[in-house]
Structure 1
Amino acid sequence: MQLSRRQALASAAAIAAAPLLGSTAASAAAAPADKQAPSFYRYRVGDIEVSVVSDGRFTFPLEDSFITNAKKEDVSAALQRAFLPGDTMTIYFAPLVINTGGKVVVIDTGNGPLAREKNRTNGLFAENMAAAGFDPKAVDMVVISHFHTDHVNGLLTAEGTPAFPNAEVLVPAVEWKFWMDDGEMSRAPAGRMQSLFKNNRNIFDAGLKRKVTPYEWGKEIAPGLLAVETVGHTPGHTSYVLSSGSGKVFIQSDVTNNPNPFATHPGWHAFFDQDADVAEKTRRRIYDMVVTEKLLLQAFHYPFPGLAHLEKDGDGYRVIPMPWNPAI
């Protein structure tokens, strides 16, 4: 039987495609991955290399008490406008590892290994830090912004020993004074505040034996790292300006939580702000400054890696995430 030219071409195409089809079928039988790749992201501020190292995230049902001065349905609507679920809230956590060329500096430490054992979605800082190539024994300084569990619990291992055994631990002087004051602890209301006092005493007394160095605002506490007063979230809450050469980034700690809804609605008060009115004033003051000076913003609770620019948008702010850069 003699094939026409069209039939011959069709047969050749079918033969050529056959190995591809077989390969596709074979690869489909591979087991699916059950976890994400290690989460870290690097960029430079002048000569300083910054590694954002994810500690994971925490998702919980949205409750009336989460934002104390807004209705739950209004908060839900704001989340949905940002294409987020309206019935849950997600908080992200992103400590930093800064290589100044002479020192390795960690800023905040995440929820800690016990959180990792409990829920598997946060407390990931230690393993992601190792994946990023950092040895905790080689860390020279650990800088703490404030004494909430998601910032200090990673100071200890699961066994209760220092996670960064050779590092100097720097803490805000005002924050240290408040949480280490026995009178303040005795007056703390039952519930969350008493739990925070208990946790901080466990971290800094039992774990670190109070071997810390308090620091003051307005001073450079590590190479290129200036401590900035941003109180309200806690009495000694601190943010930072990291500078090198012409590069500058504002490290905001917890000036806001997740930008949706706290950047879009800076007047909303979260239950975890210790002095909500002061926290709001600080939020507006700092964000107006960031907008005016066109500073790059690094945010602990923004979706990973938390690097963005801001612009004013009515009564709130619009967050413009920095695009991913394959180069450092």
Structure 2
Amino acid sequence: MVQIPSAQIPGVYHRRIGDIVVTALSDGYLDGTVEVMQNIAPADAERMLTDRFRPGRRTSVNCYLVYSAGRLALIETGSGNYLLPTAGKLQENLKAAGVNPADIEAVILTHMHPDHSAGLTNMATGERYFPNAELIVHENEPKHWGDDGAMSRADERARKLYFQAAREQMAPYHNQMRPFNKSVEVFPGVTSIPMHGHTPGHSGYMIQSGGKSLLIWGDIIHVPEVQVPRPEVTMAFDTDPHAAAATRRRVFDMVATDRQLIAGMHVHFPGFAHLVRQGENYLMVPEPWDQAFGA
């Protein structure tokens, strides 16, 4: 009798950017309600999702390995065990990709929300998941999430999931942190681009090699089906919603004008896509699966 598959294949996908290889790794996904979206009526958000065959707000969580100059970095660490059981799959997908976490020299974060940084540390043991990695992040992130005054002004959920989680995850890396405060090469071929708004230090990363480039834009969007055609839609967990929306419009204009390949943490896996203009609006065009792997 033929055996019926009982599990999905690993969430691993490779993409060449010149001499650099970028590997997308799925941490899973997070389902939630549309009420966290702002500047849009819930009924309108639900209609837009239904029109695009989405039963609800499903948020992909993606991480990216960067193989460059004989070295290995990881951009984002996923959500560990802080959020839903449908996420937190990074470690098993690293294993499926044949990667030993001890071989990762740098962990680079776009920001320190738990779906991006809560996979830094095993909270059951207090051990670093990446024992030999330097932690690279914009200086505003540890400064903000370590601010007792800002924490006191947050609601209970934010205090636990954002401030406390960030502090717990950062602590084992305190002697291995390299903060930056401007656009700078943080790893061979990888340059930081501050894109503040979603959080005080939110940053993207431009990967360039051999005349090719990829912009890993972090959390410029959370719900592609809604925020691409409606960039004014913000999220309840934006630290500065006005700045987040302004940054999104600026980045949309840049990548559409430059025909820039992007990858996003919340673009549906594997997350590689282009943005094109449609009149005054935008359309996201996912990149087709490349079986040849750039050969």
TM-score (norm 1): 0.85
Deviations 1:118-176 (A, max 9, x none): 74421000100110111100011111110100111110124221000011111111222
Residue 155 of structure 1 pairs with residue 120 of structure 2: yes
How many percent identity over aligned positions? 34
Deviations 1:206-246 (A, max 9, x none): x3345311112211111111100111100110001110011
Residue 172 of structure 1 pairs with residue 138 of structure 2: yes
Please report the RMSD computed on the Cα atoms of aligned residues, expressed in angstroms: 1.5
2:168 aligned residue:
202
**Highest relative contact order (Cα 8 Å, sep 6+), 1 or 2?**
2
2:25 aligned residue:
53
Query: Hey, which of these two has a bigger chunk of strand by percent?
Result: 2
Written as runs of structure 1 = structure 2, the 5 A alignment for 1:74-153 is 74-85=44-55, 88-112=56-80, 114-115=81-82, 119-153=84-118
1:34 aligned residue:
6
Query: Hey, which of these two has a bigger chunk of helix by percent?
Result: 1
2:235 aligned residue:
270
Quote the offset at 1:43 in angstroms.
0.8
Q: Which amino acid aligns with 1:78?
A: M
Higher Cα radius of gyration? 1
Quote the offset at 1:314 in angstroms.
3.7
What are structure 1's unaligned runs of at least 5 residues? 1-25
Tell whether the 8 Å contact from 2:133 to 2:176 is kept in structure 1 after alignment.
no
Q: How many residues align?
A: 291
Cα distance change of structure 1 residues 282 and 119 upon mapping to structure 2, 3 Å threshold:
closer
Quote the offset at 1:315 in angstroms.
3.9
Tell whether the 8 Å contact from 2:69 to 2:188 is kept in structure 1 after alignment.
no
CA distance in 2, matches of 1:275, 1:218: 21
Tell whether the 8 Å contact from 1:254 to 1:299 is kept in structure 2 after alignment.
yes
SS in 1 for 2:205: strand
Quote the offset at 1:189 in angstroms.
2.0
SS in 2 for 1:171: strand
SS in 2 for 1:154: coil
TM-score (norm 2): 0.94
SS in 1 for 2:137: strand
CA distance in 2, matches of 1:283, 1:212: 28
